[in-house]
């Protein structure tokens, strides 16, 4: 009797786990590991970056003085588990320092494509684009999520 009861509890537990795991996976946000920008876009972004950002953040994106690095550990520390949308808003409202919001939305996205490429996130066949709301669902994670691509 006790054994049957335990088996039933374990069965329910396993079913519950399976259901919640599926639910989490179905709702999981997209991440920047899924090829969310194109090579051409990153190349455009690089040109703007070199002109408008590199004077402070340096050509190798490692940052200088109070301008934070935009690659490697510094990048991960600052951006892990935030979204591309949040990055867009922060860069747009603060940068370039001397003229915030001074570039077009498309150009800011090109620069972000270049920053993603510089952090070894893979390119894809579609440009980084879209409504802010969708970009806020696009997560920056330091490590590649451990699940099959969709
Ligand atoms: C005149 C120097 C200067 C230029 C040009 C500049 N930055 Fe910055 N940037 C800074 C400084 C200083 C900080 C740190 C203080 C701050 O956040 O205002 C910063 C902060 C940042 C941050 C972190 C923002 C946060 O949320 O704290 C990002 C990302 C960034 N810059 C990206 C860029 C990009 C992209 C460009 C080019 C479009 C750019 N910066 C141009 C000096 C500069």
CA of 70 to the centre of ligand 1 (A): 9
Cis omega (within 30 of 0) for bond into 96: yes
pLDDT digits (tens, 9 = 90+) for 14-58: 555 554 444 444 456 799 999 999 999 999 999 999 999 999 999
Whether ligand 1 lies within 6 angstroms of the CB of 90 is answered as yes
Burial class, 62, CB count within 10 angstroms (exposed 0-12 / middle 13-18 / buried 19+): middle
Lowest-confidence pick of 61-65, 67-71, 129-133, 142-146: 142-146
pLDDT digits (tens, 9 = 90+) for 92-142: 999 999 999 999 999 999 999 999 999 999 999 999 999 999 999 999 999
Burial class, 116, CB count within 10 angstroms (exposed 0-12 / middle 13-18 / buried 19+): buried
CA–CA distance, 115 with 3 (Å, rounded to integer): 57
Closest listed residue to residue 90, CA positions, set 147, 33, 37, 132: 132
CA–CA distance, 62 with 75 (Å, rounded to integer): 9
Whether ligand 1 lies within 6 angstroms of the CB of 52 is answered as yes
First to last CA, the chain: 44
CA–CA distance, 80 with 65 (Å, rounded to integer): 22
Residue nearest to ligand 1 atom 36, measured at CA: 53
Pick from 51, 58, 68 the residue to mutate for probing ligand 1's pocket: most ligand atoms within 8 Å of its CB.
Answer: 68
Lowest-confidence pick of 6-10, 19-23, 75-79: 19-23
CA of 31 to the centre of ligand 1 (A): 23
Whether ligand 1 lies within 6 angstroms of the CB of 46 is answered as no
Whether ligand 1 lies within 6 angstroms of the CB of 57 is answered as yes
Nearby residues of 118 by Cβ (< 8 Å), 6 or more positions away? 61, 70, 71
Whether ligand 1 lies within 6 angstroms of the CB of 92 is answered as no
Whether ligand 1 lies within 6 angstroms of the CB of 95 is answered as yes
């Amino acid at each position: 009797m006790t054994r049957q009861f335990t088996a039933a509890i374990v069965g329910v537990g396993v079913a519950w786990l399976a259901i919640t795991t599926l639910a989490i996976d179905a709702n999981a946000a997209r991440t920047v590991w899924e090829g969310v920008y194109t090579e051409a876009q990153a190349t455009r972004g690089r040109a703007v970056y070199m002109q408008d950002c590199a004077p402070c953040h340096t050509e190798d994106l490692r940052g200088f003085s109070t301008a934070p690095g935009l690659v490697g550990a510094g990048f991960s520390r600052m951006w892990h588990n935030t979204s591309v949308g949040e990055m867009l808003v922060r860069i747009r409202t603060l940068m370039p320092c001397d003229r915030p919001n001074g570039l077009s939305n498309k150009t800011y996205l090109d620069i972000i494509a270049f920053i993603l490429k510089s952090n070894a996130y893979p390119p894809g066949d579609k440009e980084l684009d879209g409504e802010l709301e969708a970009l806020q669902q696009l997560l920056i994670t330091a490590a590649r999520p451990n699940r099959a691509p969709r």
